[in-house]
Structure 1
Amino acid sequence: MAPQPLLAYYAVLAVALFPCSSFALASPKVVSFDLQRREVFIDDAPEHPLRRRANTVGATLYNAQSNLLYLVNATIGTPGQQFSLQLDTGSSDIWIPWVRSLACSQKGRCITGAYDAAASSTFADVAEDQFTISYVDKTRIEGDYINETFAIGGATLKDMTMGLAKASSEQDTTSPFQGIVGVGFDTGEPLYAQTGITYPNVVSQFKAQGFIATRAYSLWLNDRESNSGNMLFGGIDYSKFNGDLTILPLQSDTRGGGVSSFTVVLDNFNVVGANKKVQYASNLTIPVILDSGTTLTYLPDSIANAIATGVGAVSNANYGVVVPCDVTNSPATFNFQFGNANGPTIISEISQFVLPFPANIPTPRFRNGKVACRWGILPSGENPNLFGDTFLRSAYVVYNIDGAQVGIAQTNFNVTKEDIREISATSSLPGATSTASGAAQQTHSGAIYLTGGGGGLAGATATAVETATGTFDLGSSTATSTGQGGGKKGAAGHVQPPSKSFISAIAFASIAFFAMAGGSMVIFI
């Protein structure tokens, strides 16, 4: 039970959180965020450009490779204080670092924004010491609920409720203390789990204040090499995908029986090799969460381990789970079928799961001279199955909160045109051709926050990585891996591909440390 002042606040001021005034936009009524890829290092604060184009409200979202985050520019307060916040479909709250917190007193930790209540004329403390949120990686954030003016993408929201983070359980004192803007369900808020009460989060406020007609948005991350992408609240851009848009019903969770996450059913998975033959297949019915706040893709241990064996991934004490970078050139694909046996299949190029190390990491090599890259699929272990950015780049996904459904289609990479249609009906998506039913109840509930994967320690000396031979037909390598500064080419040492227990241990270490360290590269063992 929450303390009475918080309950009383929401009982008395619930109407105030849904302003009567609205802001009418030209048709289609959407709020659009233009995405850009960018590396952000701990000592390199991002810029805060804002762009606006006709008939949309736009802002820049950065893919911060070194910290493995998607960041959106926002201003909070009056006058506006600038922030870069992680955009996360796996959680539901906005929270921002407090300028006087211990974390922000440590040099370089709050480079993406820290809030100063004394500098804002619109600050209101809703409930002191009542905000608390815990994530999958065990990170715990505590502070106050506040009301403030929140401007994002050219849209200004009045009386936006958010958390002011005064304390964190993070032990690392060098990684960024990064705020989040969660765009999940109101029922995904920790306040709901604690009291049964919700407040309108940013998606609900977009609708309540007239910027969009229904609580729905579309996500297009584009491919791994691109520096452009888009997130569109209230609409669908039909130029960004090919084929049919298929509806997938969202699955309920075991706690409460309601829908509180973007969980869909994965019905089938297979690997198609360079020879166009199936190298691996798994028929299954499991819940997976489509989560933009997660960098990698997390599958059941047996599947993740089989894939790692097939592609020749190895677990390294310094760098995590790695593969030769020239695997990027393979024509092999991962095929994900959703819903049921007749459901949509998203085909992902293997290159989307091969992640180069950031520029501030010494280039690791295998003992046979090949350059190593991070591998983008890890075991989920006891955590939920998560389909993060490494998968989402291949899919155009429409997240429909009001309709308790998602729409999914094969993405079109590197498209420059637009064909935007407004989502005006609560329970339907314009142009969707079918619904793929399927049932797999979600056992997880609560916020998701897993941003990292295998990596190395910035400033460390690169060491040779043992080599393993994959079992999948990936085709012959077409890239030559020499790299800056060369590197001594030694005999190809051999180790077995990672065992289930070892790769799970590496994955657990990377999950725990990376989410706490904001994705910074670390030595795990």
Structure 2
Amino acid sequence: MYSILYLCLLLAFANAQQNPKVVQTDLIHLKSQASGPFIPLVQFSLENQTINALFDTGSSDIIVPQKGSSICQNPAQHSTLQATFVNGTEFNGDFAALDLAMDGQTVTGTTVGIFTSGSLPPDAPLFPIFGVGPVQAEAVGSTQPQHGRKLRRQAGNFANLYPNLPAHMKEIGMIKSNAFSVYTDDARAKTGSIVYGGIDTAKFEGQLQEVPLERANDGALPSFVIKFGSVSMETGISGSSEINLSSHINNDAPRAAAATTDLAPRDGLPVTLVDTGAPSILLPAASLQMLATAAMVFRFNNDAIAIRAPMDTLVMPQALVQDARPGQCVLPVFPSQDTAVMGLPMLQSAHVVFDMDGEKLLMAQTKFNVTESSLRKYP
């Protein structure tokens, strides 16, 4: 009798260990003048120490500073809540296998980079990075059996790759697939969510649409890069057309002539002052209200996928813009000479599944400010 009960308990435990599930955690929006309104953080624990880190699909390692190391001595750089991501920052240290806890779930044996030295631009804040990109972007160097892998970025060196967090969660049976979905939500909200190994069907409209990942010239998949079809401006005014902004994105695709939209109020425009001493353009409030209903429309995979980003979600609050002038409107959009980047401002409007097993992304229009949840495993 007791042996049968013991066997049943063992079988139940084994089944629980082999039955993948989904793991959901919060995406926290950091807002400050130093960092701006579009910094996503995740909270986790290592060795019972709570850490806030930048959630980054553009890198692949979880990297944290060693407490008390020389790089942590500058008080201005020793605060995760001043987080700004600075390209070109260099870290040196070692990798270690640690138990990582997030939202009540423990991921045993997670590989974490612990840096003790490096270089930062003057006055740049220091903060941990929670990288969940493809493993081929990992910062791995030579293997040191006694001390773990050396933390040093070497592009194209794939000899010492390790399963990063999503891959490791699949490897130990926590989730079914090396995939996770991101619900950023409106950055003016407090939190969004991340679902490892699953999706939340309550958080998006319509059906998820697939777009394959683009390989690098050497055949590797080091980044979540996809085909950018077009970008346009939708005015939100009844009867108006979209204004094409993407004449140089894909020269092979035919483009319609750019549309124009009248922003004049119904009662007409007033007289205007021409003043070289004025630092801005002043328009009637009604014209600006029409602009506020506009949206940027981003299309991917030969325009098969369209994501509408309302303008009011893109505009940066004046309180978070350094040296902002009264009435100034600032968009977090900057020129790029080569690869375009769809950062958090656009991702507020897109529910995205990052699927490394299928080597693809899936996208749908997000539903803003949804509190209910409907989780299911993916795929």
> Please, what TM-score do these two structures have when normalized by structure 2?
0.75
| Structure 2 CA distance for aligned equivalents of residues 211 and 101 of structure 1 | 34
Q: 1:179 matched to which residue of 2?
A: 128
| Structure 2 CA distance for aligned equivalents of residues 338 and 360 of structure 1 | 30
The 5-angstrom pairing of residues 53-68 of structure 1 reads 65=36, 68=38
Cα offsets for 1:147-203 (capped at 9, x unmatched): 222222322122222211112221324x42101011011111132733532111111
Residue 139 (structure 1) shift: 1.7
Q: 1:189 matched to which residue of 2?
A: 138
Task: Tell whether 2:188 aligns with 1:225.
Answer: yes
Q: Are the aligned partners of 2:28 and 2:41 in contact in 1 as well (CA < 8 Å)?
A: no
SS of residue matched to 1:263: coil
| Structure 2 CA distance for aligned equivalents of residues 323 and 35 of structure 1 | 37
Q: 1:47 matched to which residue of 2?
A: none
SS of residue matched to 2:168: helix
| Structure 2 CA distance for aligned equivalents of residues 328 and 151 of structure 1 | 47
Q: 1:153 matched to which residue of 2?
A: 103
Q: Unaligned stretches of 5+ in structure 2? A: 1-12, 141-154, 251-257, 264-280
The 5-angstrom pairing of residues 409-448 of structure 1 reads 409-424=364-379
| Structure 2 CA distance for aligned equivalents of residues 231 and 23 of structure 1 | 25
Residue 329 (structure 1) shift: 5.8
Which residue of 231, 235, 258 maps to 2:198? 235
Q: Are the aligned partners of 1:267 and 1:284 in contact in 2 as well (CA < 8 Å)?
A: no
Residue 217 (structure 1) shift: 0.7
Q: Are the aligned partners of 2:20 and 2:174 in contact in 1 as well (CA < 8 Å)?
A: no
| Structure 2 CA distance for aligned equivalents of residues 167 and 323 of structure 1 | 49
| Structure 1 CA distance for aligned equivalents of residues 364 and 282 of structure 2 | 28
The 5-angstrom pairing of residues 390-401 of structure 1 reads 390-401=345-356
Q: Are the aligned partners of 1:23 and 1:209 in contact in 2 as well (CA < 8 Å)?
A: no
SS of residue matched to 1:242: coil
Which residue of 335, 338, 343 maps to 1:379? 335
Amino acid at match of 2:79: I
Q: State the superposition RMSD in angstroms.
A: 3.3
Residue 273 (structure 1) shift: 2.1
Q: Are the aligned partners of 2:33 and 2:320 in contact in 1 as well (CA < 8 Å)?
A: no
Which residue of 75, 89, 108 maps to 2:45? 75
SS of residue matched to 1:193: coil
Residue 414 (structure 1) shift: 1.1
275-284 vs 88-97, which moves further: 275-284
- Describe the shift of the 1:39–1:269 C-alpha distance in structure 2 as closer, same or farther (beyond 3 A): closer
- Describe the shift of the 1:269–1:226 C-alpha distance in structure 2 as closer, same or farther (beyond 3 A): same
- Describe the shift of the 1:97–1:323 C-alpha distance in structure 2 as closer, same or farther (beyond 3 A): farther
Q: 1:141 matched to which residue of 2?
A: 91
Q: Are the aligned partners of 1:323 and 1:374 in contact in 2 as well (CA < 8 Å)?
A: no
Rg larger in 1 or in 2?
2
Residue 250 (structure 1) shift: 0.7
> Please, what TM-score do these two structures have when normalized by structure 1?
0.55
- Describe the shift of the 1:385–1:360 C-alpha distance in structure 2 as closer, same or farther (beyond 3 A): closer
Quote the sequence identity (%).
Answer: 28
Residue 423 (structure 1) shift: 0.8
The 5-angstrom pairing of residues 353-372 of structure 1 reads 353-358=314-319, 361=322, 364-365=324-325, 370-372=326-328
